[in-house]
């Protein structure tokens, strides 16, 4: 990662530029983060839209989005959006992207937190709320919604591997997100790697930014592995996907066996059935 923070002779409102390679395409990308009025917006190739107006167009091992008009497609947005969600940044940021895939950086969301914090944008409350109790089942995944005067998101992975803690929870505090959730690295089970490679994915995997769970050991470079890190990363991914629906919403969400595909379908059904509602324009 290479980032340029304001300082020295840089203008007060100069952007923070983050550069790196995409996880799946290994293509170079540059992301300029800047202060701006209005809802958080994403601009690619001169075409822009509010982040909450983006539509999920693919969930194959990542979250891929596009505007309703299809002017551009942007891949692997979940970690960047998770940082925005965890820091409570729903307004005041413009994201200019050069490239087709958001850089993987540290394999988590901490690098995005560092860059976004430099902007000095004040957090705002989520524009979405859980308005009634309900449950949505997507295959083997389950999403439980209930009203609550705060943000409370929990995941349960239902794992057979006794080395891994299956649950993680976040109750809306940005400091807690930065300390516990944002550093949780992307992970893969060794048994899934042949499929990922056959699909032409994961072309750039930083050694210190990914955890490989093998039958005989857990491979993690750079810093120690914690048994709940996979659950915390699944929570991170869920927060990034919730951000696309104006969340994480005010309310409680418990997700059992979450994944990008199930997340997108569950959020669509939650909006269509009235479980989730926007509280402001």
Active site positions, annotated: 260
Give how far the C-alpha of residue 271 lies from the chain's centroid of Cα atoms, to the nearest Å.
19
> Which of 131, 174, 124 is closest to 149 using CA atoms?
131
* Share in percent of the chain as helix, strand, coil (round to 5): 25, 35, 45
Instruction: Tell me if 61 sits within 8 A of 76, measured CB to CB.
Output: no
Task: Count CB neighbours of 214 within 10 A.
Answer: 11
Distance CA(273)–CA(113), nearest Å, equals: 33
Look at the block and give the residue holding tokens 């595909």: 261
The kind and range of the H/E element at 221 are none
CA distance linking residue 204 with residue 107, whole number of Å = 10
- Three-class secondary structure of residue 41 per DSSP: strand
Distance CA 151, CA 26 (A): 35
Q: Locate 219 and state its tokens.
A: 């491979």
For residue 267, the SS3 value is helix
- Which pair of structure tokens corresponds to residue 135? 């449950």
d(CA 168, CA 164): 11
Q: How many CB atoms lie within 10 A of CB 25?
A: 17
């Amino acid at each position: 990662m290479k980032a340029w923070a304001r300082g020295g002779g840089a203008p007060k409102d100069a952007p923070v530029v983050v550069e790196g390679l995409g996880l799946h395409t290994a293509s170079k990308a540059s992301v300029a983060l800047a202060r701006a009025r209005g809802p958080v917006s994403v601009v690619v190739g001169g075409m822009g839209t509010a982040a909450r107006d983006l539509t999920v167009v693919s969930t194959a091992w990542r979250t891929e989005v596009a505007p309703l008009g299809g002017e551009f497609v942007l891949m692997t947005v979940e970690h960047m959006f998770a940082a925005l969600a965890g820091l409570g940044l729903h307004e005041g940021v413009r994201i200019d992207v050069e490239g087709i895939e958001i850089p993987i950086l540290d394999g988590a969301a901490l690098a995005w937190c560092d860059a976004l914090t430099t902007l000095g944008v004040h957090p705002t409350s989520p524009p979405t709320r859980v308005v009634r109790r309900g449950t949505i089942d997507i295959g083997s995944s389950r999403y439980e919604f209930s009203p609550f005067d705060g943000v409370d998101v929990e995941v349960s992975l239902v794992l057979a591997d006794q080395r891994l803690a299956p649950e993680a929870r976040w109750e809306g505090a940005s400091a807690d997100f930065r300390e516990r959730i944002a550093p949780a690295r992307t992970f893969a089970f060794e048994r899934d790697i042949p499929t990922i490679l056959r699909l032409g994915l994961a072309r750039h995997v930083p050694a210190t930014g990914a955890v490989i769970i093998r039958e005989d050991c857990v491979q993690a470079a750079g810093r120690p592995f914690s048994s709940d890190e996979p659950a915390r990363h699944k929570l991170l991914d869920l927060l990034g996907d919730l951000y696309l629906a104006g969340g994480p919403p005010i309310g409680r969400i418990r997700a059992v066996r979450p994944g990008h595909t199930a997340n997108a379908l569950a959020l669509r059904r939650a909006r269509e059935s009235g479980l989730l509602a926007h509280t402001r324009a």
